[in-house]
Each structure stands twice: as C-alpha cells, then as structure tokens.
Amino acid sequence: MGASIDRTQGLRFPGGAAASAADDLVQRLDQLNAIGASLSAERDINRLLEAILTAAKTITRADGGTLYRLTEEKTLRFEIVRTSSLKYYLGGTTGNPVPFYPIQLYKDGKPNQTMVAAQAALTGNTINIADAYTAEGFDFTGTRAFDAKTGYRSKSFLTVPMRNHEGETIGVLQLINAQDPRSGEIVAFSASDQRLAESLASQAAVALANRMLINQLESLFESFISLINGAIDEKSPYTGGHCQRVPVLTMLLAEAVNETTEGPLAQFRMTDKDRYELKIAGLLHDCGKVTTPVHVVDKATKLETIFDRVQLIDTRFEVLKRDLEIESLKRRASMSRMEMADDEARLRDELRRLDEDRKFLHACNIGSERMRDEDIEHVKRIARYRWRDVSGHEADFLTADEVRNLTIRAGTLTEDERKIINHHIVATIKMLESLPWPRHLTNVPEYAGGHHERMDGKGYPRGLTREQMSVQARCMGIADIFEALTAKDRPYKKGKTLSESLQILGRMKENHHVDPDLFDVFVRRKVYRRYAEMFLDKEQMDEVDESKIPGYQP
C-alpha cells in the first residue's frame, strides 16, 4: 500500500458544551462554498475525483468513503477509495489500482436493489443508514468481508447520487462512519450532514460533467488536427511524418529550456496551459500545406511533375541515335570500304557522346550536387541539339522549361516552386488567425507561424527579428530545421547523421538563422540525442564531438 496522501483538513469546532450547532453548520457551509469554487478550477479528472471525495469526507467528518462513476455498460466503477483510520488509499493519484469489480445496476434485466450504491444510482435518492450490520433490504456481504479482513467496523453509511445539470446520474458518492467531533465516536450521519453532502454532490457532478465535456471537446479538437495532418499525409507521405515529429521535438526543447536554471533563459517557465498551447501550435505548424500542390511538395527530381520527364529526354536521345545510324547507312551505299570504316568510327564516337550527355542530364536531374557554371553551360549546349518531334518538325532538343529546371543550382525546386512551397506558412497563418481561439490558446498562430523566421530578420513571411518572437516560436524554428535535416523519408535526400545535422545547425547559429541561446540548450541538454532515440535509424546516431560543433557555447 502506498503512503498516505489523504488531504482531509480537520475542522475546528467551538470548544465546550455551549458550542452552537448553528455556528458549526455556518462554518461547514462556508467550507462548502470554498470547495465548490476549487472544484470548478481543477483540470485533471483524477485529482478532481480525489478532491470531491476528500471534501465530502471533510465536510461530513466521515472516516471513509468511495466515489463511483457510472459507465456506459450500466455499472458503477470504483474510482476512489479512502479510509483515513486504516491509511487505506486506492485509485486517483495514488498509483494503487482499485481491485474491486464494478457494481451491476441490473441483474438478469432487473434493477439491482440489494446494493446500496446501485439503488441510489437507480432511484436518484440519498440513502442514509445508521448501522450496516442491522440494516434490512441491502446486501453488505462485501462490507463484512472487508471488516473481517482488516479489523475495521463499517457502521454508518451515507450514499448520495451525483446528478448533472440535466438530471442524469453520473456517479455515486458513498461516505462511511461519521465521527462525533468531540468524542471521535462513530455515529449516524445527521440530517445536516446529508444536506451538505447532497449539495456537495450536486456541485461536484456539475464540475465533473463540465470537465468531462471540456476533455471531450479537447479530444475532438485534437482529432480534427490529426485529420488535417492525415490529409497532408495522404497528399504526400514525405510530409506527414514531419507534422508528427516537429511537435515532439519542439516540446523536448521547450522542456529542456524550462528546466534551465542558469544563463539568459533561466527565467523561462511553462505551466500546463502553456504546454498544451505549444503542443497544439506544433501540431498545426504546417496546416497550410493542404494548399500546396502535391507535384511541388513531392518533387524528387528537377524534371518531375506528375512523372519524371527525364524519360521523355531518354526517348529523344534514342531518336537522335536512330537518325545518326540511318544517315550513316545511307552514306555507306556510295562509300569505299576504307571510307565505311571511318564512318563507323565516327558514328561510334557520336553515339558515345550522346550516351555521355544522357548520363550527364540524369545526374543533373537528381539535384544532389550543386551545379557549377560549366555544368549549366553543358546543359545549354545539349539543349541546342536539333531533333524531329512527333509531328516531324525540327526543334531544340530541350524546351525552355526543361532547361530552367535542369539548371537549378541546388535542390530540385525552381524559384517559382520554392515560392509556392514557402506560401504554405502564409496559408498557415491566415488559417490559424481566422479561428476564434479561446484565451488559453491565443498564442497558437504566433508560435506556429514563426518557424521560418530568422533571428536577423531575413526569414519569412514577416521578416521578424529575434526580439519580436516568443521563445516558443524560436524553439519550433530549431525543431523544424533539425527534423528536416535528419528526416529519412524525403524523396530528394537521405537523412543526415547527428553530427552532420549539428554541424549545419551550428553554422546556422553563426549566420544568425536560429536562436543562439536555444541552440546551446539544444546541444548542452542532449535534446538531439533524446529525439534521435525516438525517431532516427541507428546508422544516423553517430558519435557527436560537441567541441567541434560550430558556434556552440557549453
């Protein structure tokens, strides 16, 4: 059994025989009002249930109690069990599970009227029993077995249904063994105890129903976010994983900053509300990609649109080779044997040149190497070759659009396509700013919309500087870059190792691209290593010499 966590606060009762029962009742009513306010503020369901039972025990001076919740299967599930004198604590935040089977509301299709908790739930009426051992009409076999095992004596019972604002029973509050405030003797629950417990149960039911509704709405909201990310995933398998991984890495870094006690970020702290707000922002940071054309997002090669157009160029090379061979055969009809041998050698040279040009264009199309000026000129020379198209018209070997794509210096995107990709963040901001966010989520658009900004103001879309951005938005910027560097599901590159990625990210720090203080925390607190253990392949997780990372300040 775990250590006692019962937070019951003993009441102060007026001393002496002259103490007024009215004063006692007023004191307990004041406490009831305070309890109602505190219940409404509790966000965690387990802590809320625990607070309800603890408050009921306190206000009625009960030694023990159980809180049940009604299930969809028409049973009462044990949620919290407390007996102070035995130091017996189950359920809630204790970590000790409740080992009892749920109470059936119906048996063989008939109401279960022998169990006091079931009867209270079925009728909606409070049941006040002075002594369970002498009460008639109810089955207290389980209670007697518990007493025999523990040496306890369960006597007075007060069982109160918890009904929400629609009059539906959502649970049952059962209190055991009221204690006389002066003698400590076990007594029956008084009429005032019952009224206070019923009032508390009513307030608690509303608080519980509200919290459950809020949790359901939050769950629905997060499901809609998952739906959006799923739509992006369906459009492109290369970005769906990104939408899931960036929020995780963002939270890892933010928690590391939250734990920092020294340096320029020592004052940064997050509440649970702050964490939830950042989590939502992370999940939505690329929602604007639903507007980005698939052929741009998934452009694995320079000539790819719906398909890779390098295949068309392969066909043209074959046409050129065929035409050379036909012309050679025509010439040989009037040649001597020696001239034929020279012509064959010349044909082999021309065919070999075409094969080499074809291989060169295939290499250019991949986009893995940065193109030099001489490479670009080579592409343009090939473009001037002449060939006959399917209509029989003579044309340049490469179209202007093919030349523009094949001469992209780095990567696979043209300048126009890069603008289309970059527009996703503008779309993200517009989408998020159009939503009526509740107060605790008002920063979501700022957090989500800032991950492509730079610390020197040269980022996009708004050109914000470091001072104009929150710590959370700057965390997401680092997370977005590091995930992209290490991602192994991109169509145009392999995932980089940890050391390669940190080298690039370190140079970005030196170039004022990412936040310098956050980068140092990212390395110092080994955030990169924790992320790698969750998402990277073993071959990516190489040894990192942090002393060689550019710009890193231990």
CATH code, domain with 52: 3.30.450.40
Instruction: Clarify whether residues 393 and 453 are in a common domain.
Output: no
Domain-located, residue 97: yes
For residue 7, the model assigns a pLDDT of 38
Do 129 and 53 sit in the same domain of this protein? yes
Number of H helices and E strands in the chain, helices first, is 18, 12
Residue 17 is predicted with a pLDDT of: 41
Question: Which ranges constitute the DSSP H helices of 412-548?
Answer: 415-433, 444-449, 471-486, 498-510, 516-524, 527-535
Q: Identify the pLDDT of residue 536.
A: 94
Residues 481 and 383 occupy one common structural domain: no
Distance CA 122, CA 117 (A): 9
Same domain, residue pair 250 and 143: no
Closest C-alpha among 42, 78, 65 to residue 203: 42
Kindly state the tokens that stand for 161: 């249904």
Q: For position 228, what pLDDT does the model report?
A: 83
DSSP 8-state code for residue 133: T
Res 293: pLDDT: 84
Which residue, of 150, 184, 214, is where some domain finishes? Answer: 214
In whole numbers, what is the pLDDT of the chain averaged over residues? 88
More confident residue, 317 or 226: 317
Judged on CB neighbours under 10 Å (0-12, 13-18, 19+), 275 is middle
Same domain as 441, residue 470? yes
Across the range 450-474, mean pLDDT stands at: 95
Whether residues 66 and 191 share a domain: the answer is yes
**Confidence (pLDDT) at 214:** 86
Structure tokens at 22: 């009215």
Label residue 231 by pLDDT band (50, 70, 90): confident
DSSP secondary structure of 147-178: HHHH------EEEEEEE-TTS-EEEEEEEEEE
Buried b (16+ CB within 10 A) or exposed e, 148-173: eeeebebbbbbbbbbbbeeeebbbbb
Q: Which residues face 65 on adjacent strands?
A: 82, 175
**CA–CA separation, 518 and 524 (whole Å):** 10
Q: How far is CA 495 from the centre of its chain?
A: 22
The CA R_g of the chain, rounded to the nearest whole Å, is 37
58-112 pLDDT, tens digit each? 889 999 999 999 999 999 999 999 999 999 999 988 889 999 999 999 998 899 9
Instruction: Give a yes or no: residue 13 inside a domain.
Output: no
**Strands 75-83, 88-91: pairing kind:** antiparallel
For the question of whether the overall pTM of this predicted structure is more than 0.75, the answer is no
CA distance 98 to 12: 32
Q: Return phi, psi of residue 57, to 5°.
A: -65, -40
The answer to whether residue 483 is domain-embedded is yes
Per-residue pLDDT at 2 exceeds 70: no
User: Does 489 map to a domain?
Assistant: yes
pLDDT for 490: 65
Q: What pLDDT score was predicted for residue 469?
A: 96
**Which of these three, 412, 440, 461, is where a domain ends?**
412
User: Two tokens at 30?
Assistant: 């004041």
Which residues on neighbouring strands pair with residue 90, listed in sequence order? Answer: 81
Q: Which residue has the tokens 């210096």?
A: 409
Q: Report if residue 12 sits inside a domain.
A: no
What CATH number does residue 273 fall under? 1.10.3210.10
Determine the pLDDT at residue 448. Answer: 95
pLDDT (tens digit per residue) in 209-220: 888 888 899 899
Asked if residue 3 is part of any domain, the answer here is no
Structure-block tokens of residue 519: 């980068």
pLDDT digits (tens, 9 = 90+) for 40-73: 667 788 888 888 888 899 889 999 999 999 999 9
Query: Is residue 301 included in any domain, yes or no?
Result: no
Q: How many C-beta atoms surround the C-beta of residue 261 within 10 A?
A: 7
On whether both 138 and 83 belong to a single domain, the answer is yes
229 with 282: CB under 8 angstroms?
no
**Residue 234 pLDDT exceeds 90:** no
**460 and 362 in a common domain:** no
Q: Tokens representing 496?
A: 């980089």
Q: What is the pLDDT of residue 1?
A: 36
Over 60: is that where the pLDDT of 170 sits?
A: yes
Full residue range of the structural domain in which residue 382 is found: 310-412
pLDDT-based confidence at 19, cuts 50/70/90?
A: very low
Q: Helix or strand or coil: residue 106?
A: strand
Instruction: Average the pLDDT over each of 203-207, 249-253, 282-286 and give the range with the smallest value.
Output: 203-207
In this predicted model, what pLDDT tens digit does every residue of 409-438 receive, in sequence order? 988 888 888 888 888 899 999 999 999 999
Q: Are 283 and 398 members of one domain? A: no
What is the per-residue DSSP string for 260-328? --SSTTTT----HHHHHHHHHHHHHTTGGGGGS-HHHHT--STTBSSSBTHHHHHHHHHHHHHHHHHHH
Is residue 436 a part of any domain in this protein? Answer: yes
Supply the pLDDT for residue 9.
Answer: 39
Q: Is 420 helix (H, G, I), strand (E, B) or coil?
A: helix
- Residue 339's pLDDT is 87
How far is residue 42 from each of residues 77, 117, 237, 316, measured CA to CA in Å?
21, 26, 40, 71
Count of structural domains within the chain:
3
Question: Are 477 and 510 part of one and the same domain?
Answer: yes
Give the pLDDT score at 16. Answer: 44
Given 181, 214, 247, the domain boundary residue is 214
Query: Does 376 lie in the same domain as 244?
Result: no
**Does 97 sit behind a cis peptide bond, omega within 30 degrees of 0 on the bond before it?**
no
Q: CA-based diameter of the chain, in Å? A: 139
Tokens 């074809």 correspond to 358
DSSP letters along 51-96, please? HHHHHHHHHHTEEEEEEEEE-TTSEEEEEEEEETTTTEEEEGGGS-
Tens-place pLDDT, residues 352-385: 999 999 999 999 998 878 899 999 999 999 999 9
Helix (H) or strand (E) holding 387: strand 386-388
How far apart are the C-alpha atoms of 12 and 507, rounded to whole Å?
66
Residues 130 and 173 reside in one and the same domain: yes
